[in-house]
Amino acid sequence: MKCSRRVFVSRAGALLAGGSAAQWLAGCAAATAYRVTPAGGQLQLDVASFRDLHSTAGIATVQPDGDDVPIFIVRQNETYTALSAVCTHRGCTVEAKTGRFVCPCHGSTYSATGSVLRGPAEHPLRRIPSVLRADGRTLVIEHPRRTAAR
Ligand code: FES
């Protein structure tokens, strides 16, 4: 079982706020994530090299080096969207399930596009600015630490 310090602290806070211990422990289970190294305030990904993005409704979990919170890359046909994994309710790290995202702390559920399907969260997952280059395979994502400071 792996649980980063930030995730541990955020989940402990959510636990104190009413989440269950079982949800909390389940949420700390290690998730498979692709490691990427930020450079110049950006993450550059070759989407063709991510097996999870080979299907037209794929979701890949990306873990920037030095960050505690992953981001999700969602493919919808030939469009890619980067979403923060930070739950908009109280900041736990949401997990990718089949075609949706679920928060282990209080059960908020988000669609593949980040919209709230079930609360208590009231706001969608934050979209992280990204652009697909003309080559159709290089996705350039603004490093979340930069966007979070705005
Ligand atoms: Fe409460 Fe996610 S932190 S539902």
Structure tokens at 53: 């993005």
By the 8 A CB rule, do 110 and 116 touch?
yes
Enter the DSSP assignment of 139.
Answer: E
89 within ligand 1 shell (Cβ under 6 A)? yes
How far, in Å, is the centroid of ligand 1 from the Cα of 134? 37
Higher pLDDT, 59 or 29: 59
Cis peptide before 120 (omega within 30 of 0): yes
Residue in the block written with tokens 């498979």: 32
User: H-type helices in the chain, by residue range?
Assistant: 5-16, 21-27, 144-148
Phi, psi of 100 (to 5 degrees): -160, 175
108 within ligand 1 shell (Cβ under 6 A)? yes
pTM as predicted = 0.76
| Region 18-27 average pLDDT | 40
pLDDT computed for residue 11 by the predictor: 44
Structure tokens at 62: 């990306």
How far, in Å, is the centroid of ligand 1 from the Cα of 142? 25
> Does residue 50 register a pLDDT over 70?
yes
**pLDDT tens profile 104-134:** 999 999 999 999 999 999 999 999 999 999 9
